[in-house]
Amino acid sequence: MKRRKKRIKKVPRFSSEDEERDFWAKHDSTEFVDWSKAENVKLTYLRPSTKTISIRLPEALLRDLKILANKRDVPYQSLLKIFLAERIEQEWRSGLQSPKSGR
């Protein structure tokens, strides 16, 4: 049995993001994109969104964090994010499901 090649429609031009959002909410992308030709890409320069927070730390803990960061030649806030991420991953592995899997 021979498969017929699906005809791909042209994506319309949109005057605003709202118009585009409404369009894609009502249409199936497979009518406009041949997903069989899609390729995986790595967005190496894409950084996750961040949110500024305020946190109170004991002065000695902050001092120690800054000393460790200096020894590793990284900003102390970056080191704090690394430590938090490692510990959270460790907690998820120790019995809880990851939040990515729906808990």
- Does this model's pTM top 0.85? My answer is no
Per-residue pLDDT at 59: 98
Distance in angstroms (rounded) separating the CA atoms of residues 68 and 82 = 12
Per-residue pLDDT at 47: 82
Per-residue pLDDT at 87: 95
Domain range annotation of the chain: 59-101
User: Which of 90, 87, 61 has its CA nearest to residue 76?
Assistant: 61
Per-residue pLDDT at 96: 67
Per-residue pLDDT at 99: 59
pLDDT profile of the chain (103 residues), mean per 10: 74 94 93 90 84 95 97 96 94 74 52
